[in-house]
C-alpha cells in the first residue's frame, strides 16, 4: 500500500495516539466485535477501557478533565476504531460531538461542573435529541415543545418525541439534550432552544431499541417526553439559539463521521488485501487476477482521498478557519468510499463475504448509514451547491 502521506500533517503525539488506538482496536475491540454484534449489546467494559485511555476527553482542556488535544486527535481515534467496529466508533463520535461538546461550549459553570467530569472520563454518556418523525434535515418542523412555568426559578415542561437518538438508553447515560420549540417569532417561525434532561427524569421514556440493519452494538432509541419537568436553569445556552448552536456541532460531527467512514473503508481494504493474498483458486492467489488487483487499487484510492478530505476539514476546524463546506465534502466522499469498499470487499470474499462473522459483511451492513446519518448525501450536495452558487466563485 502507498504511504500514508496524511501523516506528514500530524504531530508525533497524534501519530502515537493513532497507533495506540489501532492496537487497542485490534487486540480488544476486534476479537469481541462479532459477539457483541450478535448480542446487540453495547459492551460497557470496552467503553470503560476507552475512558481509561482518555478517548472521550481528547478534544477538551485539562481544566475540565480532558486530554488537552484537538479535533484531529479525536478523528484519528474514531478512524482507528471504525476499522474493526463502526458501532464502537460511533459511540465515541456521538458521545463527544453530540453529547459532551454542546455542554462544554454552551453550558453554564454549574452545568459543566455537574456533567463534564463523568462524561469526559467515559464514566457516563450523553445524547442529543434533535431528530423527530417529521423533523430531521428540516429542524424547523420540530414539534416537541417546552413551556416555562415561573421565572428563573421555575420549570420547563417538555412534551414531544425524538427518534434515532444515539447513546440515549445505556445504563451509563446521564443526560440528554433536547431541542424544543419554546416560543414563536413574529413571522411564525419556531424559537428553538436546547434543554438538558437528566436520565431517569419522570415523564422521559426510553423506547425499545431499534431493530437496525447495522450498527447493532450502538445504542439507539426513540424517546418520549410527556410532561417532563426540569429546572429553568437546565436551559443550555441562550434561549432561541438551540438549533444555531447545534449547527456547529453538526458541522464538526460531519468531520468525525467522515473519519469513521474512512476507518470503515480502510478496514474493508485491509481485510480484502489479506484475503486476496491467501485465497487460492486454480493454483494461484486471487490477488494475481488483474480484476481483483485493480479493485483493490480503487479501494486504496478511495481510502486515501477520504482521509485527506477529513484531515483537511479537521485541520481547518482546529485552526479556527471556515470548514463547513470542507466538512460536507469529507462526509460525502468518505461515506461513499465506505459503501463502495464494503461492496467490493464483500465481492472479493465471495460467499464468505455474506457471513456476519466476517468483518466485511458487518461493514457492508453498517456502511449504508454513513450515507444517511449526520446529514444525508443529498444534504451535503445541497450545502455544497449553495456554497458554490451563492458565492459565484466557488464559495471562497
Residues annotated as catalytic are: 374
Residue-by-residue DSSP string for 310-336: HHHHHHHHHTT---HHHHHHHHHHHHH
Cβ burial, residue 107 (10 Å; 0-12/13-18/19+): buried
Residue-by-residue DSSP string for 45-92: HHHHHHHHTTGGGTTS-GGGT-----HHHHHHHHHHHHTT-HHHHHHH
CB within 8 Å of 75: residues ≥ 6 apart: 255, 256, 258, 259, 310, 311, 314
Instruction: Let me know how long the chain is.
Output: 396
C-alpha cell at 73: 486527535
CA count, 13 A, side-chain hemisphere, 15: 9
Q: Return d(Cα 365, Cα 361) in angstroms, integer.
A: 6
- 146 strand-pairing partners: 158
C-alpha cell at 352: 464468505
Q: Return d(Cα 68, Cα 318) in angstroms, integer.
A: 12
CA dihedral 272, 275, 281, 283 (to 10 degrees): 130
Q: Which whole-number Å values give the CA distances from 43 to 74, 186, 366, in the listed order? A: 20, 48, 17
Q: Return d(Cα 82, Cα 87) in angstroms, integer.
A: 8
Question: Where does the chain show beta strands of DSSP type E?
Answer: 125-129, 145-149, 155-166, 173-184, 190-198, 204-206, 220-231, 235-236, 280-281, 284-285
Amino acid at each position: 500500500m502507498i504511504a500514508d502521506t496524511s501523516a506528514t500533517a500530524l504531530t508525533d503525539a497524534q501519530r502515537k495516539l493513532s497507533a495506540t488506538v489501532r492496537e487497542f482496536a485490534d487486540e480488544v475491540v476486534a476479537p469481541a466485535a462479532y459477539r457483541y454484534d450478535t448480542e446487540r449489546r453495547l459492551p460497557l467494559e470496552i467503553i470503560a477501557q476507552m475512558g481509561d485511555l482518555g478517548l472521550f476527553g481528547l478534544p477538551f482542556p485539562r481544566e475540565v478533565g480532558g486530554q488537552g488535544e484537538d479535533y484531529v486527535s479525536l478523528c484519528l481515534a474514531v478512524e482507528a476504531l471504525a476499522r474493526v467496529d463502526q458501532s464502537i466508533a460511533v459511540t465515541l463520535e456521538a458521545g463527544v460531538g453530540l453529547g459532551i461538546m454542546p455542554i462544554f461550549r454552551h453550558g453554564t459553570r454549574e452545568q459543566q461542573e455537574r456533567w463534564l467530569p463523568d462524561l469526559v472520563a467515559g464514566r457516563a454518556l450523553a445524547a442529543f435529541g434533535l431528530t423527530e418523525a417529521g423533523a430531521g434535515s428540516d429542524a424547523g418542523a420540530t414539534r416537541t415543545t417546552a413551556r416555562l412555568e415561573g421565572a428563573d426559578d421555575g420549570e420547563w415542561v417538555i412534551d414531544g418525541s425524538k427518534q434515532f437518538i444515539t447513546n440515549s438508553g445505556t445504563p451509563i447515560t446521564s443526560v440528554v439534550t433536547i431541542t424544543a420549540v419554546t416560543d414563536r417569532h413574529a413571522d411564525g417561525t419556531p424559537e428553538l432552544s436546547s434543554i438538558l434532561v437528566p436520565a431517569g427524569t419522570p415523564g422521559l421514556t426510553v423506547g425499545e431499541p431499534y431493530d437496525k440493519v447495522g450498527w447493532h452494538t450502538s445504542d439507539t432509541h426513540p424517546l418520549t417526553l410527556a410532561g417532563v419537568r426540569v429546572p429553568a436553569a437546565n436551559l443550555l445556552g441562550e434561549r432561541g439559539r438551540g438549533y444555531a448552536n447545534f449547527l456547529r456541532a453538526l458541522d464538526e460531527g460531519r468531520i468525525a463521521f467522515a473519519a469513521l467512514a474512512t476507518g470503515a473503508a480502510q478496514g474493508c481494504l485491509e481485510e480484502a488485501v489479506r484475503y486476496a493474498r491467501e485465497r487460492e483458486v486454480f493454483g494461484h492467489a486471487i490477488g494475481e487476477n488483474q480484476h481483483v488487483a485493480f479493485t483493490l487499487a480503487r479501494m486504496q484510492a478511495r481510502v486515501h482521498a477520504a482521509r485527506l478530505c477529513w484531515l483537511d476539514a479537521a485541520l481547518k476546524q482546529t485552526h479556527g478557519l471556515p470548514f463547513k463546506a470542507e466538512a460536507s465534502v469529507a462526509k460525502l466522499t468518505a461515506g461513499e468510499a465506505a459503501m463502495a469498499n464494503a461492496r467490493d470487499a464483500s465481492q472479493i470474499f465471495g460467499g464468505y463475504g455474506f457471513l456476519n462473522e466476517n468483518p466485511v459483511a458487518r461493514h457492508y451492513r453498517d456502511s449504508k448509514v454513513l450515507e444517511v446519518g449526520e446529514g444525508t448525501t443529498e444534504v451535503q450536495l445541497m450545502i455544497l451547491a449553495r456554497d458554490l452558487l451563492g458565492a459565484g466563485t466557488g464559495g471562497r
